[in-house]
Structure 1
Amino acid sequence: MVLAPTVVLAVVLSLLGVMYLAYISDPEGNLHDFPIALVNQDVGDTIDTGDGTEQVNFGKQVADALVAGMPADQVDLRVVGISESERLMRTAQIYGAIIIPSDFSKRLGILGVGSVVGGEIERPIITVQTNPGMGPYSAGIVNRIGGQAMAEVNKQVGDQLTTRVRDTLAASPAGAPAPEISGAAQITLSQPVHVVEQEWRPLRDGAGLGLTAFFYALLILMAGVVGAMVVHTMVDAQLGFQPTEYGPWYVHYPPTPISRFHTLLIKWGVMCVVAVVISLLYLLVAKILGVAGDQPVQLVLFSILALIAVGLTCMASLAAFGTAGLLINLAVFVILGLPSSSGTVPIQATPTYIAWLAEFEPMHQVYLGMRSILYFESDYAAGLGRGIWMSLLGLLIALVGGVAITKYYDYKGLHRENLVNKKKTAA
């Protein structure tokens, strides 16, 4: 009575601690393959060097410096055009983008001239775009990556621009006083690029800064796990396989002569009804709170599919392993599922073994579908397609596995009997 629960809880809760603390302890230290787009729209410019003119493209120099300086093992920097960047944002393939505008070289040239000639000038701009639908933590990582990269770019471009201005001034006509760079101009030249942080398509009100998809997916997952446990227990009580307690009293019906296979079919049928009811109730609550988005039909249909897949899988596990199935369900759907969901910390900012779990863990698949529906207009490429097909795959595994194991038990005559009483009778 002491040793068994202590050992089981020590193993299960240690796994829980390892998964959750490793998940959140060092996201930037665990960064790997974090996808960001780099867009260079700069068309170049012709500048006066004092001895003539020169065609320059500072945007290309900045882009090349970013590609060379970005740690390849941490950041997956994709050099693309603006239309491709938009597509990658829309389909949730990247967390953000660094955009160099078409007039970057022109503005940088004007900045150099303006350092010695009076007049109003503006620093050239580089935009660091974040994809808010990917979650608030990912936006912070994008801004930090962009800020660190832009600091180095500012240093290199500032040194180059200052040198060009000094060379131009040194080439003044003989006898003419050489203009000097003022102290204020030198400060401007040392930090010539203005970095603007911008959200790509800000989320609507009620999106919870990009967290509602995670919590909606969590609700569906918990409804499937808890619902399966409740249906399993209550159906077994009605069939007489276990007592039902009411305070100090309990009811224990006579066991019903029914096969394991037909018992599982009853539980699956009840779970399907529960899935529809709970999904509609969740939608009602979400509508009242203003978090349901603009795709309510897709939201409720996907919720039903995901809830049925999770619920039927949990019941197949209980049918196969009995009480031990509760621990298996807890491990698969909760302990391993939440850290690998990518709902709060991006999967590319977690340890690689957690990222590997995300390839098949149910929570991640449900989250991708919910995120697509709530933030990306139910775009299949943004995760809804994967969410649907992985839910169908999970449902197929549950159906095949559940039918196979219960049919096998029935075929072998392994009926639901009390082993203690059976041994006494045999003796």
Structure 2
Amino acid sequence: MSVEQSPPRPGSWGDESGHRGDLREFLSHAVGAVVVVCGLFFLLGYMYLDGTADPQANARYLPVAVVNQDEGATLDTPIGPRRMAVGQQISDGLLHNNDWRTLRLHPVDAQAAEAGLRDGTYYGVVRMPADLSRQVAGRIESVTTESGQRADPPEPARVVVEYSPRMSVVSGQVMYRLADALQDSLRERMGTQILDQARLLAEAEQHTVGAAGELVLRDPVRVEVTQWNPLPEGVSNASLPLFYALVVVLAGFTGAMVISSLLDARLGFIPLEVGPFAFNVHVAPIGRLHTLLRKWAVTIVTAPLVSGIYLGIAHVVGITGFDPWAMFWFAVLGIAAVGICAHTIIAAIGNAGLLVNLVVFVVLGIPTSGGATPTHMLPPLFRAIGSVEPMHQAFLGLRAIMFFDSAWSAGLGHAVWVLGAWGVAGVVGGVLVTIAYDRMGLERQAIADRVRANRRAAAMVGELGSIRRVRIADAAAAGGGEAGQIVEGDATHRE
């Protein structure tokens, strides 16, 4: 049986469509679009501005190692030998006066500090060298005793503050701030104590401490900031893992949108538009699960190809110092996991999935990644979101591969497990949702199955469910019907 489909007059608004073409209809369409766009960019503005406006104010528990290797020294005084332990005094002062909400100081030995720097545990280290007390004692003797004044000037006493440029772009800022505060404290507290002791010692030796000596002793220990293990050759920006993570996540998220649109068009679920032309392909007789499996398969095939492209570009631009196989397979995992989840979200909620994917993988992902602003300097809400965000996991894994010799403990192991969990959740969720939709009879409708415009969502769903599945035939496959006719009961045109 065939039913003639009368084309509407150009410029007319037919009763069959439900469109009215009046101002009220336009406003109802516009309001929804405006609300969605404003809501999206409110979230975008909040995430990007609030998370980066004042990182220092949000700094919480930044881990820093304190290493005291000072062996101590003995200073002869009028009342007998006096044992000096400058390194221990500085360590105790750091721990006692520390703002523990901002910095988490860890007194450790040299080996533990080095291991912590190599696996990304610490932003930096404060080191008291073995001869620190001897150098301070030598400076006192050089200005208070006759023998000291005749000897060569001793080397300045130094405390070394090291920062890891591989940990974060702000590691240097964190450790320089700590070094400045430590230098002020040493000058104000230790300098005054040492000067008083030197004056007593000088009186016993029947000497006085001159102006030059006072200047030396008021600043007894210098704090020097150095860089631990500079970035690899060809890399001068510690943000590189963030941008690599960004292109990995975009390959999964954007790739899923492209693959979904192309396959849906080729399977007849949406029109295939090329410039001014729109082609309505016959709907393929497959269910939602079968469609989703096809999309996943294309994503899995695409993932290693795109990962290889990224590695080739990295080689061309001169990025070195990492294990290429670790980088390749980790990027494959990231692209596949994000792509699988993006397909599942689209399969579950339809066109709104494009917006949800944008929010989940990009809007929420970049500011919580820990690449631009370290995780320890993000607001609590951002840290909670980042703990499960694929972008943060991609950044951790890629940073470990690029800067920490692919150490599993440097974040690579955690990233692999979390991204793997995203992939598994995407597969399980996609299978369950599409099977449920198929069993409920909610097959994807043919091009001819329209519902009237300007209806409430519930009414539209009910109307769609009551429509008999029909197809608009083309001239080649319509059998006895004419082109443009709706053909019922023909198995070649059923979904």
Instruction: Give your verdict on TM over 0.5.
Output: yes
Runs (4+) of structure 1 moved beyond 6 Å?
none
Q: What's the CA shift string for 1:102-145, capped at 9, x where partnerless?
A: 11111010111122433322211111111111122122122212
Per the alignment, residue 84 of structure 1 pairs with 112
Whether the 8 Å contact between 1:66 and 1:153 is mirrored in structure 2 is no
Q: Verify: 1:154 aligned to 2:187, yes or no.
A: yes
Which consecutive unaligned segments of at least 5 residues does structure 2 have? 1-28, 453-461, 469-495
Inter-partner Cα distance in structure 2 for 1:350 and 1:426: 52
Per the alignment, residue 305 of structure 1 pairs with 333
Inter-partner Cα distance in structure 1 for 2:347 and 2:368: 26
Whether the 8 Å contact between 1:259 and 1:410 is mirrored in structure 2 is yes
1:323-362 alignment to 2 at 5 Å?
323-362=351-390
Inter-partner Cα distance in structure 1 for 2:408 and 2:402: 12
Inter-partner Cα distance in structure 2 for 1:159 and 1:289: 54
In 2 relative to 1, CA 365–332 (structure 1 residues): closer, same or farther, beyond 3 Å? same
Of 256, 261, 268, 1:240 maps to 268
Higher Cα Rg, which structure: 2
What SS does structure 1 have at the residue aligned with 2:237?
A: helix
Per the alignment, residue 52 of structure 1 pairs with 80
Alpha-carbon shift at residue 340 of structure 1 (Å): 1.0
Q: Verify: 1:316 aligned to 2:338, yes or no.
A: no
Q: Verify: 1:423 aligned to 2:451, yes or no.
A: no
1:214-233 alignment to 2 at 5 Å?
214-233=242-261
Per the alignment, residue 407 of structure 1 pairs with 435
In 2 relative to 1, CA 330–357 (structure 1 residues): closer, same or farther, beyond 3 Å? same
- Whichever residue aligns with residue 243 of structure 2, its letter is F
Alpha-carbon shift at residue 54 of structure 1 (Å): 1.3
Inter-partner Cα distance in structure 2 for 1:347 and 1:323: 33
What SS does structure 2 have at the residue aligned with 1:35?
A: strand
- Whichever residue aligns with residue 152 of structure 1, its letter is S
Per the alignment, residue 424 of structure 2 pairs with 396
Per the alignment, residue 175 of structure 2 pairs with 142
Whether the 8 Å contact between 1:213 and 1:371 is mirrored in structure 2 is yes
- Whichever residue aligns with residue 331 of structure 1, its letter is V
Q: What's the CA shift string for 1:301-351, capped at 9, x where partnerless?
A: 111011100110111111101111111111111111111111121111111
Inter-partner Cα distance in structure 1 for 2:280 and 2:44: 35
- Whichever residue aligns with residue 95 of structure 2, its letter is V
Q: TM-score, normalised by structure 1?
A: 0.96
Q: Verify: 1:198 aligned to 2:226, yes or no.
A: yes
What SS does structure 2 have at the residue aligned with 1:38?
A: strand
What SS does structure 1 have at the residue aligned with 2:223?
A: strand
Per the alignment, residue 113 of structure 1 pairs with 141
Q: What's the CA shift string for 1:352-404, capped at 9, x where partnerless?
A: 11111121111111111000100000000001111111111111100100111
- Whichever residue aligns with residue 181 of structure 2, its letter is Q
Inter-partner Cα distance in structure 2 for 1:415 and 1:194: 75
Per the alignment, residue 175 of structure 1 pairs with none
Whether the 8 Å contact between 1:51 and 1:171 is mirrored in structure 2 is no
Q: Verify: 1:30 aligned to 2:63, yes or no.
A: no
Q: What's the CA shift string for 1:198-224, capped at 9, x where partnerless?
A: 111111222233121111111101111
Identity %: 34
Per the alignment, residue 209 of structure 1 pairs with 237
Alpha-carbon shift at residue 255 of structure 1 (Å): 1.1
Inter-partner Cα distance in structure 2 for 1:101 and 1:208: 30
What SS does structure 2 have at the residue aligned with 1:241?
A: coil
- Whichever residue aligns with residue 351 of structure 1, its letter is P
Alpha-carbon shift at residue 149 of structure 1 (Å): 2.5
Whether the 8 Å contact between 2:74 and 2:83 is mirrored in structure 1 is yes
Aligned residues: CA RMSD: 1.5
Whether the 8 Å contact between 1:240 and 1:253 is mirrored in structure 2 is yes
- Whichever residue aligns with residue 122 of structure 1, its letter is E
Inter-partner Cα distance in structure 2 for 1:127 and 1:294: 29
Whether the 8 Å contact between 1:93 and 1:382 is mirrored in structure 2 is yes
In 2 relative to 1, CA 275–197 (structure 1 residues): closer, same or farther, beyond 3 Å? same
Inter-partner Cα distance in structure 2 for 1:337 and 1:213: 14
Whether the 8 Å contact between 1:218 and 1:363 is mirrored in structure 2 is yes
Per the alignment, residue 68 of structure 2 pairs with 40
Whether the 8 Å contact between 1:32 and 1:349 is mirrored in structure 2 is yes
- Whichever residue aligns with residue 420 of structure 1, its letter is V
Alpha-carbon shift at residue 35 of structure 1 (Å): 0.6
Alpha-carbon shift at residue 426 of structure 1 (Å): 4.5
Inter-partner Cα distance in structure 2 for 1:264 and 1:138: 44
Select between 37-46 and 199-208 the one with higher mean Cα deviation.
199-208
- Whichever residue aligns with residue 127 of structure 1, its letter is V
Per the alignment, residue 296 of structure 1 pairs with 324
Inter-partner Cα distance in structure 2 for 1:411 and 1:278: 36
Per the alignment, residue 287 of structure 1 pairs with 315
Alpha-carbon shift at residue 185 of structure 1 (Å): 2.0
Inter-partner Cα distance in structure 2 for 1:318 and 1:153: 60
Q: What's the CA shift string for 1:47-98, capped at 9, x where partnerless?
A: 1112211112111011000011110111111111110001111111111111
- Whichever residue aligns with residue 60 of structure 2, its letter is H
Inter-partner Cα distance in structure 2 for 1:43 and 1:10: 64
Whether the 8 Å contact between 1:239 and 1:255 is mirrored in structure 2 is yes
Alpha-carbon shift at residue 292 of structure 1 (Å): 4.4
